[in-house]
Structure 1
Amino acid sequence: MTTETEIGRLYENNVREWARKSRNDVRLVPADLSVRRISPVCGSAVTLDIRHNQEVITELGYQARACTLGMASTAVVVVVAPGCSFSAVHEIGEKLGRLLAGEDVRFPEEWRALEMFIAARSFKARHGSILLPFQVLEDAAEQLKRRL
């Protein structure tokens, strides 16, 4: 059974602050690519508008319709991913998945905000929403590979 203390830790101030950053949609028009994904578990949806230079993400726009955790994760990705390669972001997404599964992982300094999701480990139904923006970028990378 989930306690109020566990729920309080899950939605601590840092998570809510990050979530606020993605409340208002910021779309890129035109974008090189727009990719949307919906979590089958909770129905959260994230669309990322992507500008890129080959393998490097140069700019992201977004529309997020997700829980507070999904909104926070989307905000971190939108802030930190520009300037990173798709493969580097994929690696960070894998680390985040391992963190949620209970492993102790260390993120590079610029991605340290993701450590706020340690409290979500026991809320498996929320993992899909937290991982959603990373999955969107994986889908985008796959689409780009098919185009080349």
Structure 2
Amino acid sequence: MSTDLASLYSGRLLALAADIPHLGRLDAPDASVRERAPLCGSTVTADVVARDGRITDFAQDVKACALGQAAAAVLGQNIIGRTSNELTLALTELTAFLKDDGPVPSAPFEGFEALLPARDYKNRHASIVLSLKAAQKALINANFASNS
């Protein structure tokens, strides 16, 4: 493994990847969304239960590289109680953080800062945003279903 890749897969990043909160699937979600990163084949399925527009229960089935797993861990640590607007903002901020050298995403998602070394690996960005994208879409679908 090259020195660059060794620094990318830091101890902090690997610790996050090894401890993903809300791993698995829900028995009766209000909505589920599966997202796939075409370049690397990583997939995440997000299940949500929402009440009054906020996530009250969440599970994620993560089949991704260590970077995608680390991002799923940060998401899992902070997702309960979030609204679709908060997840949309987090996705916008994370994308800008990775692609445009933007600032670290705002609280409660500042833990994405652990993925700073991945900025230079553009082919990994899709895997990093996968869990957040799936959760955001699932919550939007759950909110739409409850308002129908």
The match for 1:51 is 49
Counterpart-to-counterpart distance in 2, 1:57 and 1:5: 40
Which ranges in structure 1 are unaligned for 5 or more consecutive residues? none
Q: CA deviation at 1:112?
A: 1.9
1:125 aligns with 2:146: no
Quick one: structure 1 residues 131 and 78, their matched pair in 2 at CA, closer, same or farther if it must change by over 3 Å?
A: same
- In the alignment, is the contact (CA less than 8 A) between 2:46 and 2:58 conserved in 1? yes
One-letter amino acid matched to 1:67: C
SS in structure 1 at match of 2:29: coil
Contact 1:22-1:75 at 8 Å conserved across structures: yes
2:137 aligned with 1:139: yes
Tell me the matched-pair count. 146
Normalised by the size of structure 2, how large is the TM-score? 0.88
Tell me how far 1:40 sits from its aligned partner.
1.1
- TM-score with structure 1 setting the length: 0.88
Matches for 1:1-148 after TM superposition, within 5 Å = 4-22=2-20, 25-144=23-142, 146-147=144-145, 148=147
Write out per-residue CA displacement over residues 1-54 of structure 1, whole angstroms, 9 at most, x where no aligned residue.
xx8232122110111111111399432212211211111111100011111113
In 1, the alpha carbon distance for the partners of 2:75 and 2:66 equals 14
Q: CA RMSD of the aligned region, Å?
A: 2.1
Please state whether the residue corresponding to 1:121 is helix, strand or coil: helix
Contact in 2 for aligned 1:23/1:71 (Cα 8 Å): no
Structure 1 residue 102 displacement after superposition: 3.5
Which secondary structure does the structure 1 equivalent of 2:120 belong to?
coil
In structure 2, what is the Cα distance between the partners aligned to 1:27 and 1:144? 16
Amino acid aligned to 1:69: L
The structure with higher relative contact order (CA 8 Å, sep 6+) is 2
Tell me, which stretches of 5 or more residues in structure 2 are unaligned? Answer: none
